[in-house]
Amino acid sequence: MFPYWSTPVAGDGDARGRRHPDRALAVFVDDPDVEVGQALGLPEEVDAAAAKPCEPRGEGADPERAKAARRFADCAFHGDGVCAVGRPFARRIALQVRADVVVAIGGDGTVLRAVGMVADAGVPLVALNAGQLGYLADVAPERAEWALDELAAGRGRLEERMRVQATVTPAAGDPQTPISTRTGLNEVVVERSLTGHTLRLRVYLDGEFFTSYVTDGMVVATPTGSTAYALSVRGPIVAPTHRALVMVPVAPHLLFDRAMVLEASSTVELEVVGHRSAVLSVDGQSGTEVAPGGRVCCSMAPVPARFIRFEQLRFHDVLKRKFSLADR
């Protein structure tokens, strides 16, 4: 048995940290049309919630993804202690049912959403790739049964990835806007809200003023996120198991236009100045406006994302495969 399964999460009480044989694994499928009514061996109050379908998000289902979800659920422990859930219930399953492992089936976007739902509970993920790139989702669908055999035999290894936390503080004199905090695996982005206009930011590092930028935006990424948006704006590639903050300006109107790799313990505070608002997005999920005078403080999140890996892949080999470098 995988050793982590019987280990309580640090800080949890006895009631939440106990091992529950009938709550071994939850399968998270980020697809609106996948049937998620399999709730095997779960308490009645959770069974009713898990049996509800996902909220529709678009046209058409992915039959291969649905097939992979059912296959994974069917072969996991011969159907014992498996719950297949969709997006609305993943957090509840992880936090209330105390799933020991969550299997995310989809592409890297699905993995990011699954991490956002369950990482704070300390629940590790197995990432089954049913998408395109598969940079985070490292288990191919045809190897699903093999991966579960490895998991059950205790041959998986736990890998931790640093996450980044963004705390938004409104401008002084704005009592209507509360302080809010969001957490991501890849990056925090503070960018212009109006196309064709620049954004003015004051940057503070560890509480001290560093410099001002006139820019399209600023990316504060984790090592995992260094191969995502940060890479597209000429940021450095950092091995994902390192711990650091990567600050990358987007099209800055400044002679100093270089990215910076900072210690993981650093704080990066971005103050919106001038008369234009900014928009905050975390792992591609946007929607938070930051008014002039508001600040976004980025730091290492207290709880990392946890993945269960079954193959010892070297980081540069992953880069070669994902970016087709070996074909050049």
The pLDDT value given to residue 264: 98
Q: Are residues 276 and 256 in the same domain?
A: yes
Query: If 0-12 CB within 10 Å is exposed, 13-18 middle and 19+ buried, where does residue 78 land?
Result: exposed
Q: Are residues 185 and 143 in the same domain?
A: no
Q: Are residues 180 and 226 in the same domain?
A: yes
The pLDDT value given to residue 328: 63
Paired sense of beta strands 157-161 and 125-129, if any: unpaired
Domains identified in the chain, total number = 2
What's the CATH code of the domain at 181?
2.60.200.30
The pLDDT value given to residue 267: 98
Paired sense of beta strands 180-184 and 164-169, if any: antiparallel
The pLDDT value given to residue 137: 85
Q: Are residues 42 and 155 in the same domain?
A: yes
Q: What is the DSSP letter of 30?
A: -
Determine the Cα–Cα distance for residues 99 and 118; give it in Å rounded to an integer: 10
Catalytic: which of 31, 62, 108, 283? 108
Q: Are residues 211 and 141 in the same domain?
A: no
Q: Which two tokens stand for residue 313?
A: 């892949």
Q: Are residues 124 and 237 in the same domain?
A: no
DSSP string, 205-219: ETTEEEEEEEESEEE
Q: Which two tokens stand for residue 76?
A: 């996991």
Sites in the chain below the pLDDT cut of 50: 1-24, 31-61, 73-89, 96-97
Determine the Cα–Cα distance for residues 24 and 98; give it in Å rounded to an integer: 8
The pLDDT value given to residue 64: 54
Q: How many residues does the chain have?
A: 328
Q: Are residues 23 and 65 in the same domain?
A: yes
Q: Which two tokens stand for residue 260?
A: 């910076």
End-to-end distance of the chain based on CA atoms, in angstroms? 43
* pLDDT tens-place string over residues 121-159: 888 888 888 766 678 888 887 787 788 778 777 788 899
Q: Are residues 267 and 176 in the same domain?
A: yes
What's the CATH code of the domain at 89?
3.40.50.10330
Catalytic site includes residue 138: no
- CB 81, CB 73: distance < 8 Å: no
Range of the domain at 268: 164-300
Q: Are residues 24 and 170 in the same domain?
A: no
Q: Are residues 158 and 179 in the same domain?
A: no
Q: Are residues 169 and 150 in the same domain?
A: no
Q: Are residues 195 and 256 in the same domain?
A: yes
